[in-house]
Amino acid sequence: MRLGFLFGEVANGLRRNTAMFVSVVLVTMVSVFFMGGGLLAQQQASLSKGYWYDRVQVTIFLCTPNATEVAACVGGAATQEQRDQIESDLESLSPLVEDYFYESNDEAYDRFREQFRNSPALDTIPQEAIPESFRVQLSDPSKYDVIAGAFQGTPGVDDVVDQRDLVQRLAAFLNVVTFGAVALAVAMLICALLLIGTTIRLTAWSRRRETNIMRMVGASAFTLYVPFIIETVLATLLGSLLALALLYGVVEYGITGYLSDLLAGQSGLVSLIGTSELFFLAPFLVGGAVLLAVITSWFALRRYVRV
């Protein structure tokens, strides 16, 4: 097949069916936007759950050098003797204490920088402000008060935290957001597939004279199908790129920009997705959209364009 003839057929098709082409672009854009939004929401849920996961356990935060306003921390940072005593007390609370582990300042700071890598407040927090801690897994999480009573006010202990209810509410909310975005994306995807099939049918009907002539001179199915498929792929590719541009704007300016600053002003720290997550998803979103367009076009052509 000559490239000049192929490009001419594609150009003619786009000129004759501009409205349908724009429709496919818009529906694809909306579909990919919501699909990408749903996947990003899932990543945000995973990121948030990753941060809050340890808080399902009871966390015993040790004193930092600047925590002198707490009565148990008047001597400054927790000493090795105080850490040993806390560990001994945890051992004595078996079997209520099912398991525990100690997280040093270096480990806590590394995890902190990874969790809040997109926070504008990240570089304002010095390493010594991140507390060491003991993460305690209880055999019966409802007995949190026992641990809190045993360690709250103990020398070297800044605070004892259990946030199971917050974690459960946060996880439930993020799951609802994720499910809603993905469900809407699936609905829009079905609309896009139906629209592509309709576009192929109308385009094939508008070109029935040219198609009949090509068929009579012995044109192959490939020769007849390729212009239609290229038009559909171009519309899908353009719609996908527009969706990625919208997603980039939402993530860059809405999440890591406005939302991050807003939450940082209220709580000092936020754990949010960034553009790196979007760049990771982009090839899959575009590739998946184009692949579905090609498959849908092929089956529609086999039905409406007889060779």
Contact 105, 130 (CB under 8 A): yes
Q: What whole-number distance in Å separates Cα of residue 300 and Cα of residue 196? A: 8
Local structure of 161: helix, strand or coil: strand
Sort strands 157-161 and 97-103 into parallel, antiparallel or unpaired: unpaired
Give tens-digit pLDDT for 20-42. 778 778 888 888 888 888 888 77
Tell me which residue of 12, 72, 6 sits closest to 223, measured CA to CA: 6
Q: What whole-number distance in Å separates Cα of residue 241 and Cα of residue 29? A: 8
Kindly report the pTM of this predicted structure. 0.57
Local structure of 16: helix, strand or coil: helix
Least confident of 32-41, 69-78, 149-158, 265-274: 265-274
Query: Which pLDDT band holds residue 212 (cuts at 50, 70, 90)?
Result: low
Residue with structure tokens 């402000």?
129
Give me the residue spans of the domains in the chain. 3-51+167-304, 58-161
Query: Which pLDDT band holds residue 307 (cuts at 50, 70, 90)?
Result: very low
Local structure of 100: helix, strand or coil: strand
How far is Cα of residue 215 from the mean position of the Cα atoms in its chain?
Answer: 48
Beta partners for residue 136, in sequence order: 58, 100
Q: What CATH number labels 58-161?
A: 3.30.70.3040
